[in-house]
Structure 1
Amino acid sequence: MEVACISKSTLFFLESLKENNNKEWFESHKAEYKHQQDLIKRFFKQVMLTLRTHDEITDLKVFRIYRDVRFSHDKTPYKRYFACSFKRAKPHLRGGYYLHIEPRNSFLVCGFWAPEKNDIKRIRKEFEVDALEVRSIVNHPEFKHHFGQLKGDELKTAPRGFDKAHPDMDLIKKKQWIVTKEFTDSQILAENFASEVDKAYQAIRPFFDYMSDVLTTDLNGTSLL
């Protein structure tokens, strides 16, 4: 099977769009946009097919290039990147994958970036009781190699009902539990880029497995499904 790769022409198109982010230019280059969209969709699909060899992926979502400017000070009509997400099979599998392609700003994100209120509470309670397992996962050399550390927006202080002095407050006060990995333009243009993305996606699996178990059981380990 032919290996799908990111094309230099895709980066060139995105650079041009950045410099000419207006409807007139975009409409006059609509055919080129459609071509680049087809190329990037082919690449995203290959990533999904590889991901499906070791995870249950139910959906590939390719994000629209059109920006919603209704509530934004930035009124430029088009995004300067291509991006997609891969959805895991809920309710038994939790977490998500995101991939972002942009000149000099390409990256992937994995984790829980918009968890529901009840999920946030359940995760925090788990960490309050015992955070040894999750710390062993995020401190594993393979995890560190790909992602560095666990990230995400967090509260300025302890959530209501939690001890401010709890030793695992750094984990408890988070509102997101995510990891990121950045790529240079040279890396995303390489023939093995899809493979490198998949290596990172495989590296997050111990964290996903742990968090899926947390979110599908109560504090006593009884299944909620």
Structure 2
Amino acid sequence: MKNDTLEFLSSLAKHNNKEWMDANRDWYLDVKAGFLETVTALLTELSKIDSRLSLLKAKECIFRQNRDIRFSANKNPYKNNMGAYFAVGGKKSDGPGYYLHIQPGECFLAGGIWMPSSGVLKKIRQEVDYSGAELEKIIADQSFQMTFGEIKGERLKTSPRDYSADHPYVDFLRLKSFVVSAPLSDQEALSDNLVDICMATYQKMNAFNGFLERAVEEAESGEGIL
């Protein structure tokens, strides 16, 4: 990561227009190259956890700087952050993965699945129904709790269809997303140890992602569909 990455993003947030970006194109490309190097190094390390990730290129994990403003009231053309998602299939994957978010004062690491499709969500809930005790044990781990706290995500106000309100794992079943996250300081984001810091955090969510991966694999294969 380039030392001026956060400075660039701060300036972009203040001057979020094409004219400024065109005038600072070289700065952007330099910062982008530094981010690409970090993502490449992370991809190498994560491939040791999941060998399938070795098939990915770093560019397949990095989100575009341009925003899709077609259906947004916010017409700023550029994101004020840089992000990368490491998952089998790349950034467009429907499966669980590891996320890196770089933004001045708001950097963080995350993992899991954000807003899965209805079919995938159904299978995750089915996995919770079958193996909720396993998920409960994963998030009850002291290291997990100290790093992430609880699973984050929008929840249904009531239990989902086909599950009773007194289900022992109803709190999990009500989730629409299954995400965990941990803050990353600006100093950590710019440090030479960023990759090690990320990996230490990603390792702690590995079992959580493994639980979700099992459910997604079943959804893709069609196993258990009535």
Which TM-score applies when normalising by structure 1? 0.87
Q: Which amino acid aligns with 1:88?
A: V
Does the 8 Å CA contact 2:80/2:103 hold for their aligned counterparts?
Answer: yes
1:140–1:89 distance in 2 versus 1, CA, 3 Å: farther
Q: Match of 1:13?
A: 8
CA distance in 1, matches of 2:131, 2:192: 42
Q: Match of 2:84?
A: 84
Corresponding residue SS for 2:166: coil
Q: Match of 2:63?
A: 63
Q: Tell me, which stretches of 5 or more residues in structure 1 are unaligned?
A: 1-5
- TM-aligned CA deviation for residue 89 of structure 1: 6.4
2:34 maps to 1:39: yes
- TM-aligned CA deviation for residue 118 of structure 1: 2.1
Q: Tell me, which stretches of 5 or more residues in structure 2 are unaligned?
A: none
Does the 8 Å CA contact 1:216/1:223 hold for their aligned counterparts?
Answer: no
Quote the RMSD (CA, aligned, Å): 2.2
CA distance in 2, matches of 1:27, 1:186: 28
CA distance in 2, matches of 1:116, 1:67: 22
Q: Summarize deviations over 1:40-96 as a string: whole Å, max 9, x none.
A: 111111111111122231434211111111111111111111111112269xx9411
Q: How many residues align?
A: 214
CA distance in 1, matches of 2:130, 2:49: 31
Q: Match of 1:73?
A: 73
Corresponding residue SS for 1:72: coil
Q: Summarize deviations over 1:103-158 as a string: whole Å, max 9, x none.
A: 10111220011323222112212323441111001111121122111111221111
Q: Match of 2:157?
A: 156
Does the 8 Å CA contact 1:82/1:100 hold for their aligned counterparts?
Answer: yes
- Summarize the alignment of residues 123-162 of structure 1 with structure 2, pairs less than 5 Å apart: 123-162=124-163
CA distance in 2, matches of 1:210, 1:80: 32
1:63–1:138 distance in 2 versus 1, CA, 3 Å: same
Q: Which amino acid aligns with 2:21?
A: F
- Summarize the alignment of residues 103-118 of structure 1 with structure 2, pairs less than 5 Å apart: 103-118=104-119
Q: Which amino acid aligns with 1:133?
A: E
CA distance in 1, matches of 2:214, 2:80: 37
**Fraction of identical pairs, as percent:** 30
- TM-aligned CA deviation for residue 211 of structure 1: 2.6
Q: Match of 1:188?
A: 189
Q: Which amino acid aligns with 1:37?
A: K
Q: Which runs of 4+ in 1 moved over 6 A?
A: none
Greater share of residues in helix: 2
Corresponding residue SS for 2:71: coil
1:217–1:33 distance in 2 versus 1, CA, 3 Å: closer
Q: Match of 1:3?
A: none
Q: Match of 1:178?
A: 179
Q: Summarize deviations over 1:145-181 as a string: whole Å, max 9, x none.
A: 2211111122111111211122311100111111011
Q: Match of 1:24?
A: 19
- TM-aligned CA deviation for residue 17 of structure 1: 0.9
Q: Match of 2:44?
A: 49
